Structure 1
Amino acid sequence: MNRRRERISFRFSARSRFAACLVATADGALAPGWWDLDGTPHYREGLPEETTATQVLPAEDGGLLRLRGAAGSGRHLLLLSRPAPAGTTAAGTPPAGLRHPFQEESLAVEARGLRLVPGGPRGTLALAVETAHDGRTRIWRVRSAPLRLSDPLPLPGRVTALLPLDGTGCRYATDLEGPDGYRPVSLDLCEGRWHALPSPAQGRVHRLLLSAPASGLLLTASDPGDGRLRIARATLGDRPRLDFPERLNSLDGAVLPLAADPAGEQVALRVSRGARARLFLYDVAADRTWPAALPPGAFHPVAGWSAGGLRVVYATPARPAGLVTVADTAAHENPSGISQAASNTPDAPGTPHAPTEWFATPSGRFEAVRTGDWRTAPTVVVALHGGPEDHWTLGHDPVLARLSEAGAAVVAPNQRGSTGYGRAHAEAIHGAWGVPDLADIRFLVRTLTEQRPPGAEAPVLLGTSYGGFLALLAVCADPYAWARCAVIAPFLSARGLHERSSPAVRALIDRHGLGEPPDDDLGPRDVERLAHRVRVPLLALHGCDDPVVPVEETRRLHRALAAADGQERAPHDCLPIAGAGHHPLQERGGAGLTDRLVSFLTAGPLDRRRTIAPPELTVADAAVRHRRSSAVFGHITHDERTPP
């Protein structure tokens, strides 16, 4: 089957003339690819030598920066690639195996928390933001001939995005972390100094979102004094003020500004509501919004708007992420060869998009993305997302797409604990990992089973990271409700992960709170303790170099299952993947692992007539005795595929 190639980690150059990404080869390896969007249309592709941790960033002179690093080591390799004079190709995907010769410079860098940012003064390829363990930051200028980092600007705390304030590449605004949280500051990279921006009288600025130097536009997430976040137009000079456009703030959903046009007069907005996202355009002067000509889907939080038009990174369950030029946004005819947006408007009749379905429970309801008909399909896969501060969208997941191709139906729930549905839904699992979310999954499997034909195979489970933890708990709680279970990079308990994981993961657990064990039959949510209840065939895949969830978690799972083995146990296979990280299916050799995973999940019913069922359990929903987390809710994702 001729599949579209998977692309991840999209970035745009400072003026959006160039775009870059990592593109998967047939065996799952990753190669850098980049486009000249507004000039003579070219697409170029390098050798498949990258990993999901590689950062790619195109420079405005047509070069490509790549930053490779080993997680937690502080050692990086910075590379600058420029295409050789011959061997380019027209825009689009080159034939399989076609590669282009490059001229390269490289630089070994010792630094913690290094990330590449587009921009910088004249003579600068990009900026590099270095954040030390204590939070102190240095902003470097990346220069070439020879490739080097120079002119660091030190700052006393962490920073968020760098938003340009003028066309020189010298002045930027950013949010600087301090004792009382983040505050907006102005940086002057040419002068090597910074200063805090004065606070407006009309409210408080919580985050800077987007700037357009041509018009002086600066959008912020602010509140006018009532604690409710809105999008504001900020003037942060000698007379700072905030204006809250009425129509901009009346959009139904979570609004994220993606890009401004070159004149700073229009802004592209991603508007998300649950699993669905839509693209809107906003006229700043008229305070008017209208939907762009794209069906609902998933829009990555990066976009570029140049004279050639607005380019967004768009995906649907059936379409991998790719660049799309939005119709009627170009100042001239589009020469890039990038696909144009469909002319139909969102939700118009005949618009192709994957459906979602709501499932009611005694405690409320939750939304699920679904493909295929779970009532009649021979195999139904319940896919649990990681995070846990994450949720399924109408984006493309290569594993779920492969399962659909194999004839399976997929139900991907956004149970309690998922983001995108309000604070109460997301915070339901604070101090209670594996309690309300497990209750939702148990109710879901009962609903699916009751509405399938008599004798149909039980649903199968697939979970990644936190979803792997939740999937393992589900097969321990209801061993005979499921046919099989596959997990990728799972952990066994919140307490165990807190003891054995990285500082970033421990900080996430601390924000949520460990809580007290629930007062129910299942007891502490520790898969190692409950492994004797597993009665289904189980496949676990885990990268040996996983920087998020240590591979020791899967090794402990294997030992616990082996200790419980006996005549009544189902087979299990726990595979550590040498050289792989947190996303082993998206790295070299991932294609073979995906084939094995899909074959396992769609293998058909297992005869378990001789096995003895463990006793039924009464498992808590949300009414459990645990300490309320005192931590402030924050958003952290463990998906390294798109660097900040």
Structure 2
Amino acid sequence: MGERWQDRFRAGRISLPSWAREAPDRSLYRSNSSGTWELYTWDRTTGEHRQATARGQGTELGALDPTGAWVWWFDDTDGDEFGVWRRRPFAGGPDTEAAPGLPPSYSAGLALGADGTALVGRSTDEGFSVHLCRPGQPPAELYVHRQEGYLASRSDDGTLFAIAHSEHGDSRHTAVRVYRLHGAEADSPPRAEAVGDLWDGPGLALYPGHFSPGGRTLLVVHERRGRAEPLLWDPVTGEEQEVRLDGLPGDLSADWTPDGKQLLIVQEHRARSRLHLHTPDGGRTEPLDTPPGLVGAATARPDGTVEYSWSSSQLPPVIRNTRGETVLTPPGATAPPSVPVRDVDVEGPGGAVHALVSEPEAGTAPYPTVFLVHGGPEAQDTDAFFSDVAAWVDHGFAVVRVNYRGSTGYGSAWRNAIERRVGLTELEDITAVRDWAVASGLADPARLVLEGASWGGYLTLLGLGVRPDDWSLGIAAVPIADYPAAYADEMEALRAFDRSMFGGSPEEVPERYAASSPLTYAADVKAPVLVLAGENDPRCPIRQIENYVGRLRELGKPHEVYRFDAGHGSFVVEERIRHMAAELDFALRSLAGVPGGPVPGTA
């Protein structure tokens, strides 16, 4: 295969361009074309593209103001996600601090006004807050609470803003509140007046979206019937209109078309997605023609088209519109294709578990097999293009991806099933699929790799200790390894998430954290372990990984560590290639002596 797998990482990629509400020909997107993921502006009138940020570790968060005059971007330190907002002119120019007077924080939302004002959501160890920033004036605090939340959106006229909050103590199942903003333009101190509250009670989440164009109706996603569905809510009158789309299975989300007359519906079902246009007045729903695979993002344009990013497990990402046109093509070579996936359903202890299987083009079963475990846990594996999956396949491995309990896309009960028994529940589903893969003849039981990043890395380390005889080796990137220590060091938003899952903090329910912590089972680990860790990771901090690695060292367990200077992963293309190379090298070396195992260098 030579460098084919590396070519996929180096191939040009772009995100779906966003656009300014009052200047729709001005767009912003992310691209890796400089070798690092950065923000770029695109003037659709002139065709000019301009790199807006250039930082050693890349840039993730950015936004255009409604007039298209300014690019806002979040400036953290080496990927630690803790920083301040800066801005620069769309046409280029110096960066300036966008919200002077606001200390660094974790980002918890941004809502920009056409009048130059901004609402900034902040998360710190003290909780969640929202601040009004006006040019030439100090920031004004509008909302603060010890419990976590996020700023969702602001109405076009700037008078209303919506937040998700967890004042009831459960950040996984948020409520929604809308405030009226007073004094945004006056010299008097501004204030926020609550005008509407929406909460569906314990265990039911509400996710606020955008206000209607030019209006005050708020899009909200609810879970009243066991899945994600949209509703329209007028926070002033309290009127609700549920968008009933019973003919569309799966989880549904929505956004407005620019004229406010239709909703762009994104349907997620069995690891794939479809787009639909729904007209609330009259209840008509029209499917949009997209190929099978994953729509990663979509936006309706003022000209009536819908632009979307799309890929499949076999074909690399493209940006298209509903006229069948390619909207934007990144510079450089296109990523080589990979193999399609097939779906399997395996009966697990909590019901049927859906998994995706990718098989190498050469060789015969049983294959050496990688169980690539997704992060989150509130995420899912999809029929989308992933360079790491393709790299394993190129090297002769089958890849199995499991949408275990805790995953999104299969209803709220499936997502919530991990509560109070975190990690152990997910492993039951992974084990069921692992046993199917061996019994069906797909996977060689002597050559089984458990691999994952973030929550997937956590489940990898936990699985190596809880089910030590199931796996030949493990690879855990940016994992939770010592759960109580991770809780102590991680960002407050994640501590709140953990309290919701476990039913309390490590001090309140220590037995649950111990039962779910990989460190508890370190002595039982038999397989060689590779751990990849970010020095500046605020989500899975380095100290708790050092605790786990130190324990493996004390026990004489075979292990290797790859540390890198970034946060929760890297936005630098060559660093991601080094990560993948380290994983492949570790797996090939570890399996080289196994009868029938891969021989290093032959892939």
Q: Which residue of 1 aligns with 2:335?
A: none
Distance 1:532 1:139, change over 3 A: same
Distance 1:481 1:153, change over 3 A: closer
| Contact 2:398–2:443 (CA under 8 A) maintained in structure 1 | no
Q: Which residue of 2 aligns with 1:233?
A: 232
Instruction: String of CA shifts for 1:459-492, please: whole Å, max 9, x gaps.
Output: 2111212222221232234444323221101222
Instruction: String of CA shifts for 1:40-65, please: whole Å, max 9, x gaps.
Output: 33333356425466422234335433
Distance 1:471 1:177, change over 3 A: closer
How far residue 151 of structure 1 moved from its aligned partner, in angstroms, is: 6.4
Distance 1:73 1:336, change over 3 A: closer
Matching of residue 197 in structure 1 with residue 195 in structure 2? yes
Query: SS in structure 2 opposite 1:459?
Result: strand
Q: Which residue of 2 aligns with 1:276?
A: 272
Q: Which moved more, 1:228-237 or 1:587-596?
A: 228-237
Q: Which residue of 2 aligns with 1:183?
A: 177
How many residue pairs end up in the alignment?
550
Q: Which residue of 2 aligns with 1:129?
A: 121
Matching of residue 607 in structure 1 with residue 593 in structure 2? yes
- 2:159 is aligned with what amino acid? R
Q: Tell me how far apart the structure 2 counterparts of residues 134 and 541 of structure 1 sit (CA, whole Å).
A: 30
Q: Tell me how far apart the structure 1 counterparts of residues 206 and 515 of structure 2 sit (CA, whole Å).
A: 38
Matching of residue 441 in structure 1 with residue 435 in structure 2? no
| Contact 1:462–1:487 (CA under 8 A) maintained in structure 2 | yes
Query: SS in structure 1 opposite 2:428?
Result: helix
Query: SS in structure 1 opposite 2:93?
Result: strand
| Contact 1:381–1:408 (CA under 8 A) maintained in structure 2 | yes
Q: Tell me how far apart the structure 2 counterparts of residues 495 and 24 of structure 1 sit (CA, whole Å).
A: 36
**Pairs within 5 Å for 1:218-229:** 218-221=218-221
Instruction: String of CA shifts for 1:553-585, please: whole Å, max 9, x gaps.
Output: 3322322222222xxx6x4211222x2111147
**Pairs within 5 Å for 1:399-478:** 399-452=388-441, 457-478=446-467
- 1:187 is aligned with what amino acid? L
**Pairs within 5 Å for 1:43-54:** 43-46=49-52, 48-49=54-55, 51=57, 54=60
Matching of residue 76 in structure 1 with residue 80 in structure 2? no
The TM-score normalised by the length of structure 2 is 0.78
Distance 1:131 1:585, change over 3 A: closer
Q: Tell me how far apart the structure 1 counterparts of residues 590 and 128 of structure 2 sit (CA, whole Å).
A: 51
Q: Tell me how far apart the structure 2 counterparts of residues 245 and 9 of structure 1 sit (CA, whole Å).
A: 26
Instruction: String of CA shifts for 1:302-355, please: whole Å, max 9, x gaps.
Output: 635222732233343345555332238xxxxx795469xxxxxxxxxxxx9643
Q: Which residue of 1 aligns with 2:347?
A: 360
Q: Tell me how far apart the structure 1 counterparts of residues 473 and 218 of structure 2 sit (CA, whole Å).
A: 51
Distance 1:531 1:410, change over 3 A: same
Q: Tell me how far apart the structure 2 counterparts of residues 408 and 48 of structure 1 sit (CA, whole Å).
A: 37
Q: Tell me how far apart the structure 2 counterparts of residues 228 and 308 of structure 1 sit (CA, whole Å).
A: 29
Distance 1:477 1:235, change over 3 A: closer
How far residue 78 of structure 1 moved from its aligned partner, in angstroms, is: 1.3
How far residue 545 of structure 1 moved from its aligned partner, in angstroms, is: 0.8
Distance 1:153 1:580, change over 3 A: closer
**Pairs within 5 Å for 1:15-164:** 15=22, 16-25=24-33, 29-37=36-44, 39-46=45-52, 48-49=54-55, 51=57, 54-59=60-65, 60-61=67-68, 63-70=70-77, 75-76=83-84, 78-83=86-91, 102-107=92-97, 110-114=103-107, 117=110, 119-123=112-116, 127-130=119-122, 133-141=126-134, 152=140, 154-157=142-145, 160-164=150-154
Answer with 1 or 2: which has the greater Rg: 1
Matching of residue 547 in structure 1 with residue 538 in structure 2? yes
From 248, 253, 263, the equivalent of 2:250 is 253
How far residue 384 of structure 1 moved from its aligned partner, in angstroms, is: 1.0
Instruction: String of CA shifts for 1:172-197, please: whole Å, max 9, x gaps.
Output: 34136485653233335446444333
Q: Tell me how far apart the structure 1 counterparts of residues 53 and 207 of structure 2 sit (CA, whole Å).
A: 38
Instruction: String of CA shifts for 1:265-311, please: whole Å, max 9, x gaps.
Output: 22211111242221111123231112211124333466352227322
How far residue 362 of structure 1 moved from its aligned partner, in angstroms, is: 4.6
Matching of residue 397 in structure 1 with residue 395 in structure 2? no
| Contact 1:313–1:321 (CA under 8 A) maintained in structure 2 | yes
Distance 1:115 1:195, change over 3 A: same
| Contact 2:29–2:40 (CA under 8 A) maintained in structure 1 | yes
Q: Tell me how far apart the structure 2 counterparts of residues 223 and 483 of structure 1 sit (CA, whole Å).
A: 40
Distance 1:294 1:443, change over 3 A: same
Instruction: String of CA shifts for 1:142-171, please: whole Å, max 9, x gaps.
Output: x6xxxx7766462345764554544xx433
Instruction: String of CA shifts for 1:111-166, please: whole Å, max 9, x gaps.
Output: 43446635413356x6533456343321324x6xxxx7766462345764554544
Q: Which moved more, 1:248-257 or 1:207-216?
A: 207-216
Query: SS in structure 1 opposite 2:95?
Result: strand
Matching of residue 582 in structure 1 with residue 571 in structure 2? no
Distance 1:587 1:44, change over 3 A: same
Q: Tell me how far apart the structure 1 counterparts of residues 385 and 367 of structure 2 sit (CA, whole Å).
A: 22
The TM-score normalised by the length of structure 1 is 0.74
Q: Tell me how far apart the structure 2 counterparts of residues 392 and 223 of structure 1 sit (CA, whole Å).
A: 21
How far residue 228 of structure 1 moved from its aligned partner, in angstroms, is: 9.1
Q: CA RMSD in A?
A: 3.9
Q: Which moved more, 1:364-373 or 1:526-535?
A: 526-535
How far residue 368 of structure 1 moved from its aligned partner, in angstroms, is: 1.3
Distance 1:308 1:475, change over 3 A: same
Q: Which residue of 2 aligns with 1:591?
A: 577
| Contact 2:30–2:38 (CA under 8 A) maintained in structure 1 | yes
Q: Tell me how far apart the structure 2 counterparts of residues 384 and 283 of structure 1 sit (CA, whole Å).
A: 38
Q: Tell me how far apart the structure 1 counterparts of residues 346 and 327 of structure 2 sit (CA, whole Å).
A: 43
Q: Tell me how far apart the structure 2 counterparts of residues 410 and 249 of structure 1 sit (CA, whole Å).
A: 34
Q: Tell me how far apart the structure 1 counterparts of residues 266 and 196 of structure 2 sit (CA, whole Å).
A: 29
From 509, 521, 529, the equivalent of 1:530 is 521
Distance 1:337 1:127, change over 3 A: same
Q: Tell me how far apart the structure 1 counterparts of residues 144 and 211 of structure 2 sit (CA, whole Å).
A: 23
How far residue 508 of structure 1 moved from its aligned partner, in angstroms, is: 1.9
How far residue 215 of structure 1 moved from its aligned partner, in angstroms, is: 6.8
How far residue 439 of structure 1 moved from its aligned partner, in angstroms, is: 2.3
Q: Tell me how far apart the structure 2 counterparts of residues 149 and 305 of structure 1 sit (CA, whole Å).
A: 35
**Pairs within 5 Å for 1:200-215:** 206-214=206-214
Distance 1:321 1:64, change over 3 A: farther
Larger helix percent: 2
Matching of residue 305 in structure 1 with residue 285 in structure 2? no
| Contact 1:199–1:205 (CA under 8 A) maintained in structure 2 | no
Gaps of 5+ in 2: 169-174, 331-338, 596-603
How far residue 399 of structure 1 moved from its aligned partner, in angstroms, is: 1.8
How far residue 68 of structure 1 moved from its aligned partner, in angstroms, is: 0.6
Q: Tell me how far apart the structure 2 counterparts of residues 13 and 319 of structure 1 sit (CA, whole Å).
A: 30
| Contact 1:74–1:110 (CA under 8 A) maintained in structure 2 | no
Identity %: 19
Q: Which residue of 2 aligns with 1:573?
A: 560
Distance 1:598 1:288, change over 3 A: farther
Query: SS in structure 1 opposite 2:382?
Result: coil
Query: SS in structure 2 opposite 1:67?
Result: strand
Query: SS in structure 2 opposite 1:504?
Result: helix
